[in-house]
Chains A and B, each alone.
Chain A
């Protein structure tokens, strides 16, 4: 049977992709981040997952205002790299896992989570930056990736509770897949940040620490955070953190925190990263 063995949370700032692609990772501004990820890269190499489920948001790349799916699951065999306005990142194309993705879609829909099934979409920095951070710059990504795009741009995004429960449905789906597969799930975005308007640049370290401290042992404290609190206290883009709760919902409760990184700033963002291993797996 397939099983989810670990969760990875990480921010997905576009500037990180620029730093990787242009060889700036050793610059003073970036080195605390990339040095912190050395441990993560070694860890995932050892984990050697068969599949990654990557929860992220599209930033007006694959989806425009013409179509705004709340939860869109990538079921295609492959996903092209999006041009976000300055040309596509030169990273390997993303190979999907249609069999497991379709299984998750069917299982979740019958479990009353009405996912949108996507057979063609490009993926932007929301998905490729976490891959670069965890896997570096290989010629091909080391395993298939199932993208799960969550709307966090058009207000309102799904609630934290809904995201957490979707994570649980994904866990049920994966555990009913007959092939022996080791699956790692990434929850990306956040932490506190605001990119727009006169208040941009707001960072809330206290909020972020509360999030990092509680997502493993006490997710119920985070599920209770409503949209207004995210907007007001974590910045208008800080609401991306609901995507971490999908990752958390897909894990059991016997967790070990393997690694934690928190660094301010990367661009206008408080960069957060956690690795949680699932001991019940």
Chain B
């Protein structure tokens, strides 16, 4: 894997060493939500609960705003991040749609018609201004 050549895949956060180190505390916060009592405590006082973890301001902000791509940008891994969606009772599909910048119904329609095509979505140069 010389020189992170996967960096030019558009719209994709590869959870590599740098990303994992950046997101360790953020992901461990999300992991804590697999316990019912922690979900209850988090829901009762979100900002207070987060102080147990050494999050950056940007990470805290992304969590509180439910900025799904923001969490990924700040080192979140999608499987950890989805535990926050589950805690909220947000269907995964709604979180996926938010990440894709689409209405949920539009994402579903795209999936039913075969998904986002590989053509035009494999290189950064395929996208304009970082968007499909």
User: What residues of chain A have their CB less than 8 Å away from a CB belonging to chain B?
Assistant: 14-15, 59-61, 64-66, 82-87, 153-156, 192, 194-207, 227-228, 231-233, 236-237, 264-265, 267-268, 270
Q: Report the minimal beta-carbon distance from A33 to chain B, rounded to whole angstroms.
A: 13
CB-based contact A153/B111 at 8 Å: no
Residues of A within 8 A of B39 (CB): 85
Residues of A within 8 A of B44 (CB): none
Q: Report the minimal beta-carbon distance from A58 to chain B, rounded to whole angstroms.
A: 9
Residues of B within 8 A of A199 (CB): 9-12, 100, 116, 121, 132
A85 — nearest CB in chain B belongs to which residue? B86
CB-based contact B118/A236 at 8 Å: no
CB-based contact A228/B34 at 8 Å: no
- Contact status of A196 and B1, CB under 8 A, knowing A83-B35, A203-B115, A233-B122: no
A85 touches which of B5, B82, B112 (Cβ 8 Å)? B82
CB-based contact A202/B34 at 8 Å: no
Query: Considering the chains assembled together, what is the distance between the CA atoms of A231 and B116 in angstroms?
Result: 14
Query: Considering the chains assembled together, what is the distance between the CA atoms of A237 and B121 in angstroms?
Result: 15
Q: Name the interface residues of B47-86: CB closer than 8 Å to any CB of A.
A: 69, 72, 77-86
Query: Considering the chains assembled together, what is the distance between the CA atoms of A231 and B27 in angstroms?
Result: 21
User: What residues of chain B have their CB less than 8 Å away from a CB belonging to chain A?
Assistant: 1, 5-6, 9-17, 19-20, 24, 27-28, 30-31, 33-36, 39, 69, 72, 77-87, 89, 92-93, 96, 99-101, 107, 110-112, 114-118, 121-123, 130-132
A265 touches which of B17, B28, B101, B111 (Cβ 8 Å)? B111
CB-based contact A232/B31 at 8 Å: no
Q: Report the minimal beta-carbon distance from B65 to chain A, rounded to whole angstroms.
A: 17
Q: Report the minimal beta-carbon distance from A238 to chain B, rounded to whole angstroms.
A: 10
Residues of A within 8 A of B121 (CB): 199, 202
Residues of A within 8 A of B12 (CB): 194, 196-197, 199, 231, 236
- Contact status of A200 and B9, CB under 8 A, knowing A65-B27, A156-B1: no
Residues of B within 8 A of A231 (CB): 6, 9, 12, 14
A59 — nearest CB in chain B belongs to which residue? B79
CB-based contact B114/A85 at 8 Å: no
- Contact status of A61 and B34, CB under 8 A, knowing A196-B72, A199-B12, A201-B116: yes
Residue of A14, A83, A199 most packed against chain B (CB within 10 A): A199
Residues of A within 8 A of B115 (CB): 192, 201-203, 264-265, 268, 270
- Contact status of A64 and B6, CB under 8 A, knowing A83-B35, A85-B33, A153-B77: no
Query: Considering the chains assembled together, what is the distance between the CA atoms of A268 and B99 in angstroms?
Result: 12
A60 touches which of B14, B24, B79, B107 (Cβ 8 Å)? B79
Query: Considering the chains assembled together, what is the distance between the CA atoms of A144 and B22 in angstroms?
Result: 40
Q: Report the minimal beta-carbon distance from B98 to chain A, rounded to whole angstroms.
A: 10
Query: Considering the chains assembled together, what is the distance between the CA atoms of A162 and B83 in angstroms?
Result: 31
Query: Considering the chains assembled together, what is the distance between the CA atoms of A240 and B12 in angstroms?
Result: 16
Query: Considering the chains assembled together, what is the distance between the CA atoms of A195 and B96 in angstroms?
Result: 7
A198 touches which of B27, B81, B131 (Cβ 8 Å)? B131
CB-based contact B86/A153 at 8 Å: no
A66 — nearest CB in chain B belongs to which residue? B28
B83 touches which of A85, A87, A195, A232 (Cβ 8 Å)? A85
CB-based contact B77/A264 at 8 Å: no
11 A-B residue contacts at CB 8 Å? A14-B92, A65-B27, A65-B28, A85-B33, A86-B89, A195-B96, A199-B116, A201-B110, A203-B115, A204-B118, A232-B123
